[in-house]
Structure 1
Amino acid sequence: MYASQLRSHGVEPLLLACTCVDTFNGSQVLTSASGFFFQRGARLFLITSRHVLFDGATDHRPLRIEFGVHAAGLDLTQHHRISLPLYDHGKPLWRQAGDSGGDVDVAALEVPGMAIPRGAQFSAFGVRHIQVQMHAVPLGQPLLLVGFPLGFHDTLHHLPVARGAVVASAFGVRFQGQGCFVTDAPMHRGSSGAPVVRHDPTGDASLPWQLLGVHATRMDMESRDTRQDASLGLNLAWYSDVLLALTQ
């Protein structure tokens, strides 16, 4: 069975639950984004935004991805890159979902057991981390979004960075009819697929964070006058309960 392979080396386990996701056609790098690990029973999934793996609107069609995990031991500079195909004889290997509002911009790619090096160090969210009590998340709730904005991260220790955010729409209400809510945070390209979390000191001791959503994209107004108005600084995140369907 899979289990969190995290060992005590003084690093916040949330950082080891996240990984940089690079997309490729052959050896050509296409894009860089964010993702995180989700464990369902004995199965491990890499979660990211669906548009990272496929985006028909921009003709973004990578054939494989690479992501990283830390090697065994306490030396965080030791890092493994793992390559996974996105298709099997033309059939997508990732899982995606839709609802009454249309396509859900979240994807789950199962990670075969043989792909993870023995003793690799990582942490993974699970069903117990998903926020299901919608009324328990108030407007203005402090959040963290953990990822790789513009690819920025600790390149020596291969660790992501966290951006502070707050809940900016009615949590539990489908924003504009989609399974999303709004966050207020300065986000950048490369953050798509980042987990949206809040601290849960009474929850899972090995990963004390509630998973509220998956960051998708920045929002802006077409009518904004770039000479007079700053960017909105608002973002869409998909509710995390979609992972229950994607990882069944």
Structure 2
Amino acid sequence: MTRKQLTLSEQLMHSTVRIECVLGNGSISTGTGFIYYYYFGEVLLAFIVTNKHVVEGAVSFRTRITCADEDLNPLFKEHFIWETSNFERDLVMHPDPDIDLCLVSMIDLVGKMSHEGRTPFIRNLGSQYIPIENELFDGIEDITMIGYPNGLWDQINNLPIIRRGITATHLNRNYNGKEEFVIDAACFPGSSGSPVFLIDENGYNDRSGNIIIGAPRFKLLGILYAGPLTTAEGEITVQNIPTRNVPIARTKVMMNLGYVIKSHKLNDFEAIVAAKYLSS
């Protein structure tokens, strides 16, 4: 066999993981994470990025990774299940309490797979995909979100659910003064932590009206964490995207809008990661 070439979209289907957390009362919540690397010279460290509220109250964290064959092709029906309860070792919280982001280290996961002679098939993201400072976007951009709404996924092939929408606020502005933006897309429980991408595989129109043919554009725009709800009385409240399907008052309805933390906030973890995992 030879290594198969995957399109960008196919590769991105292997950049996310479905998260299951066992809570203190024994119930299970689900969320989305994606694989992100931090580079320190020749050293790279892999993490699962998700929201703080996804792991809040958890006593254990579980996910599954697709295995690769000897040619590094995905073995869709062969998965490695990893679980950890060592949050002091594996969990890194964003230093700002108002930024709903955290990292889960993959050092233990990769080590256990290697010990069993297994190779993970993952497609990582990194800072090279974060928009550069002052990069200009149009007022409305198409977006793609990958995750596990309502905990749904192709469990036989270990593949996520892909959804599309548009930006609902301008990417070059901070929505209500926060380093985030809003998307027009259906955001359900289990979608917390979903990466939001701008993907133009075959070209795009720039802000000057020029048609850029054959030049792909790919950006990690941000991470979904919350969305507004409306009540029968017209009151609008903001709520973290739930991690469980629990009964809510019928008068509260999601507005099919999502609040997204801008991806450059992932850069805030670099110094913390270096101090925790490279200092010894």
TM-score above 0.5? yes
Provide the aligned length of Structure 1 versus Structure 2: 228
Identify which range, 15-24 or 116-125, moves more after superposition: 116-125
State the match for 1:58 in structure 2: none
Once the two structures are superposed, residues 69-125 of structure 1 have per-residue CA deviations (whole angstroms, 9 ceiling, x without a partner) of 11122430111111123533xx88322132xxx610111122114144431101100
State the match for 1:23 in structure 2: 21
Q: Distance in 2 between matches of 1:69 and 1:200?
A: 27
Once the two structures are superposed, residues 7-29 of structure 1 have per-residue CA deviations (whole angstroms, 9 ceiling, x without a partner) of 63657000100010111148934
Q: Distance in 2 between matches of 1:208 and 1:37?
A: 20
Q: Distance in 2 between matches of 1:93 and 1:69?
A: 18
Backbone CA RMSD of aligned residues: 2.9
Task: Give the drift of 1:171.
Answer: 1.3
Relative distance call for 1:126 and 1:229 in structure 2 (3 A) is closer
Task: Give the drift of 1:208.
Answer: 7.1
Q: 2:265 aligns with which of 237, 242, 247?
A: 242
Aligned pairs for 1:146-185 (under 5 A) are 146-185=146-185
Amino acid at match of 2:53: H
Task: Give the drift of 1:49.
Answer: 1.0
State the match for 1:33 in structure 2: 31
Q: 2:98 aligns with which of 100, 103, 108?
A: 103
Q: Distance in 2 between matches of 1:140 and 1:228?
A: 31
Relative distance call for 1:103 and 1:230 in structure 2 (3 A) is closer
Q: Distance in 1 between matches of 2:120 and 2:135?
A: 37
Amino acid at match of 2:221: L
Task: Give the drift of 1:221.
Answer: 3.2
Please tell me whether residue 114 in structure 1 is matched to residue 111 in structure 2. yes
Amino acid at match of 2:119: G
- Structure with greater Cα Rg: 2
Relative distance call for 1:26 and 1:116 in structure 2 (3 A) is farther
Conserved? CA contact 2:30–2:151, under 8 Å: yes
Identify which range, 110-119 or 13-22, moves more after superposition: 110-119
What percent of counterpart residues are identical? 20
TM-score when scaled to structure 1? 0.81
TM-score when scaled to structure 2? 0.72
**Structure 1 segments of 4+ aligned residues over 4 angstroms from their partners:** 225-231
Unaligned runs of 5+ in 1: 1-6, 55-60
Higher relative contact order (CA 8 A, sep 6+): 1
State the match for 2:256 in structure 1: 233
